[in-house]
Amino acid sequence: MGIVNVTPDSFSDGGLFDTTESAIRRGVALWEQGAAVIDVGGESTRPGAERVDVKVELARVLPVVSELSAAGVVVSIDTTRAVVARRRGR
């Protein structure tokens, strides 16, 4: 599994892929390197991180998921919100 955090304050990558374009490039690269699934997250879970509005999370995640899926990449969404998870297939 490859992980792409589309957040400016990611615990794991320090916010390196916080734009749609950089997140898509990272997801494709991980896929090409052999990741079976790319897990896309739009809200940091680092210690002390504040929750983001659901609209912000959706705006971060959905364009990346859409583009990766269109490229044939198998994608999952890392979220604690059912509404975000349900939007994955739309």
| pLDDT tens digits for range 26-69 | 999 999 999 999 999 999 888 888 899 999 999 999 999 999 99
- pLDDT for residue 14: 66
Count of structural domains within the chain: 1
- pLDDT for residue 6: 94
Domain residues for the domain of 84 are 2-89
- pLDDT for residue 18: 79
Judge whether 84 and 39 are in contact, CB under 8 Å. no
- pLDDT for residue 31: 97
pTM: 0.89
The residues, any chain, with a CB within 8 Å of residue 67's CB and separated by 6 or more, are: 20, 24
The pLDDT of residue 17 is above 90:
no
